[in-house]
Structure 1
Amino acid sequence: MPLSHRINSAVLNALEIAQAAPAPGKLAEALSYATTPGGARIRPTILLSVAMACGDDQPMLTDAAAAALELIHCASLVHDDLPCFDDAALRRGKPSVHLAYSEPLAVLTGDSLIILAFEVLARAAHHDESRAAKLVLSLAQRTGMPGGICAGQGWESEAEVDLTAYHRSKTAALFVAATEMGAIAAGHDAESWHDLGALIGEAFQVADDLRDAVLDEESLGKPVGQDDLHGRPNAVATYGVDGAVSRLKDILAGAIASIPSCPGEAQLAEMVRLQAQAIMPKMPAKYRT
C-alpha cells in the first residue's frame, strides 16, 4: 500500500471520531477543511518510512502515530495563520481557516485537532500499551514547552533569538517527533533517531526561509515575505541567499549520514534523498549562477 494512502486513510479515520454526531456542523467541516486535501504529508511519510526501516511489526499503531503527528502539524498551521500570529490569508492555495470559517472556529479547529491527535494514540494503545505511552510522550514533548512547536512560536516574542534554538523548536521539533515516533512504533529506541529528525527539520526550515524570500505568492500557495514583515529570524537574513542554499545542502548531507543502522537503512536513505529534492526551492533565474 502506498504511504500516502496509509496516511490519508489514517487521517480520515481520525476525523470520523471527531465528526460523529452530534458534532457541531461548521466545526466538523472546518476540521476536514484544515486537514484535507493535505499538503506533502512530509512528517508522517518520514514516520512511516522510519517504522518500515525498523520492521513495522505493529502497522496499526504506526498508522495511528502518523495520523496523530499530521493532526498536530495541521493544527499548528491553523493557529499560525491566525491574525494574532501571521494573519495569513492563504494556506495550501485556499483561504485560511479563520477566513473560511471565522476566527473563533479557527481557534477551536486547531484546539480540536490537537486533542484529537492524543485521542487517536490513546485509542490505539491496545496494540501495545508501552509503545503507545512512549508515543504520547514523544509527541507531547515536541508539541509543547520547553522545546516543542509552542516554544518555537514563543521565541518570536523574545527580543533576542538564537536562530538554531528557534529552528529547533519552531520546525525541527515535529521532524524529531517523526523519526522518534516511527522508531517507537516499531519497537526501537527513540534516542538514536533524534539527530536524523533534527537535521531534516533544520533543512526544512532553511528551505522554507528561502522560499519565503525568493518565491512569489502564486508559486508558494501562501503569502510571501512574512519573515521580513514580522521581523522574524531566518536563514536568509543570517546567511544571505547563496549562504542559505549552501547551508541547506550541508544539512541534508548530514541527515543522510546520521541514519542509524537498521534493516531498511538503504531504502530510508533514498527516501531522505527524495525528500531533499522535494524541499529544495526552485530558485528564480535572478538567483541562479
Structure 2
Amino acid sequence: MSLKPRIDAAVSRAIAHGQGRAQGPGGEAVPQKLASALHYATTPGGARIRPTILLSVALACGDDRPDVSDAAAAALELIHCASLVHDDLPCFDDAALRRGKPSVHRAYGEPLAVLTGDSLIILAFEVLARTGTVDAARAAQLVLTLAQRTGMPGGICAGQGWESEDKIDLAAYHRSKTGALFTAATQMGAIAAGQEAEPWFELGDRIGAAFQVADDLRDALCDVSELGKPVGQDDLHGRPNAVAELGVDGAMSRLKDILGGAIASIPSCPGEAALAQMVTLTAQKIIPQAAVAAARG
C-alpha cells in the first residue's frame, strides 16, 4: 500500500495552517505571494522518501497514534523542502530547477525564497507542537529529535556549513548533509509509535549513507531531464563524491553493501518483515538506472 496519499494529505493540512487557510474566512490576512510560495515549494512532492520511511517505521511499531505519526511525517517533509529551497539559493548552488520546475528563487525572487524556507522550518515545529494535545511526551521528543537533525552540531545546517570549511571531514559532512534527515525519519517513526528512538539510529544512518552514494551516482551519470534539477553539481562546486573516489563500479558495490547492512540493522518489531521490504523497494527507487547500465557495460 502506498503511503504517499497519507503523506500528501498531512503536508497539505500543514500548508493550510501556514497559509492561514485553516483559520477559515475570518482569519488574519496573510501575504499572498509568500502563501503561494509555501505551496509551490512543497508540490509536487517528489518521492517523499523520508516521510515514507518514517511512517513505515511507525507502522512496523504499531502506529497507535496515527495523528502523531502524520504530523511527524509532515514536519520532516517540510524541513526537507525548506532545505531544498535554501540549497537552491544563489549563495549556495544557484540552481535554476527543482523537481522539474523553476526553483523557488527563480519563480518568486530571492527574498521570498529565503522567507519560504524560514517559514517552512518554523511551520514544521508548529505542526509537531500541536500534537502535544494528543501526547505531550511524544510531541516533546519529536521536537527535540527533529531539532537535533536540523541544526548544529550534527544536523543538515552543519552539513551545509561543512562546505565553507577549508578541510572537510567527509564522514561528518555526509552524515550531516544527507544522513541526518534519514536518521530523523527512523527515530521519529519509532517515537511517534511510542518506542525508544536509539535502536533506530543505525537503520536511518545506513539508509542516509546509501542515499548519499546513490545521489553521487545520479549527479555524475544522469541528465537534467531525468533528475529535474541541475547535474554535475559536485564537480562544479568541488564537493566530495563517491564516484570520483571509487568509480561507478566501486560506488555501486559500496551502495549494495550499505543497503545489506541497513536491512540487517532493523530492530525487532511486529512489522519487521514489511519494513525490510520497504527498505528493499526504496533501494530500487534510489539506484539510478544509468549507474546499473554503466556497471554492467
TM-score exceeds 0.5: yes
3-state SS of 1:124 partner? helix
The equivalences for 1:172-183 within 5 A come to 172-183=179-190
Match of 2:290 in 1: 283
222, 229, 232: which one aligns with 1:225: 232
The answer to whether 1:251 aligns with 2:266 is: no
Identify the match of residue 111 of structure 1 among 95, 113, 118.
Answer: 118
Select between 28-37 and 278-287 the one with higher mean Cα deviation: 278-287
Q: What letter corresponds to residue 133 of structure 1 in structure 2? A: A
Quote the residue 2:137 is aligned against. Answer: 130
Alignment-derived partner of residue 32 in structure 2: 25
- TM-superposed deviation, 1:242: 1.3
Give me the whole-angstrom Cα distance separating, in 1, the residues matched to 2:233 and 2:29: 39
CA contact (8 A) 1:88 1:222 kept: yes
1:38 is paired with a residue whose SS is coil
- The one-letter code matched in structure 2 to 1:134 is Q
Equivalent position to 2:165, from 135, 158, 169: 158
**Contact 2:252–2:295 (CA<8 Å) still a contact in 1?**
no
User: Shift in Å at residue 288 of structure 1?
Assistant: 3.0
Report the alpha carbon displacement of residue 124 of structure 1 after superposing the two structures with TM.
Answer: 1.2
Structure 2 unaligned blocks of 5 or more: 21-27
For the structure 1 residues 286 and 182, does the alpha-carbon distance in structure 2 shift closer, same or farther, using more than 3 Å as the test? Answer: closer
- Indicate the residue corresponding to 1:55 in structure 2: 62
Q: Which amino acid aligns with 1:269?
A: A
Q: Deviations over 1:143-199 (max 9, x none)?
A: 000000000000111111122211100000000000000000000000000000000
Return the offset for 1:9: 0.6
What is the aligned partner in structure 1 of residue 25 from structure 2? Answer: none
1:95 aligns with 2:68: no
Structure 1, residues 202-258: CA drift from partner, whole Å, max 9, x if none?
A: 100110011000111111111100001001112112212211111111000000000
Looking at structure 1, the residues matched to 186 and 295 of structure 2 have their Cα atoms a distance apart, in angstroms, of 33
Counterpart of 2:12?
12
- Give deviations 1:50-82, integer Å, cap 9, x for gaps: 000000000000000000000000000000000
Map of 2:3 onto structure 1: 3
Query: Residue 237 of structure 1 corresponds to which residue in structure 2?
Result: 244
Q: Indicate the residue corresponding to 2:77 in structure 1.
A: 70
Using the aligned pairs only, state the percent identity.
76
For the residues of structure 2 that align with 1:143 and 1:237, how far apart are their CA atoms?
28
Please state if 1:264 is matched with 2:271. yes
RMSD: 1.1
Kindly indicate whether the alpha-carbon contact (under 8 Å) linking 1:163 and 1:234 is maintained by their aligned counterparts in 2: no
Question: Any gaps of 5 or more consecutive residues in structure 1?
Answer: none
Task: Give me the TM-score of the superposition, normalised by structure 2.
Answer: 0.95
Following superposition, the deviation at residue 286 of structure 1 comes to 5.0
Q: Which amino acid aligns with 2:122?
A: I
2:192 matched to which residue of 1? 185
Partner Cα separation in structure 1 for residue 138 and residue 107 of structure 2: 38
What is the distance in 2 between the residues matched to 1:286 and 1:138?
39
Question: 1:287, 1:103 → 2: CA distance?
Answer: 40
> TM-score scaled by structure 1?
0.98
Paired AA for residue 85 in structure 1: F
**Pair 254,151 (structure 1): closer, same or farther in 2 beyond 3 Å:** same
Give the Å deviation of 1:22.
Answer: 1.1
Alignment partner of 2:289: what SS? coil
Q: Distance in 1 between matches of 2:170 and 2:263?
A: 23
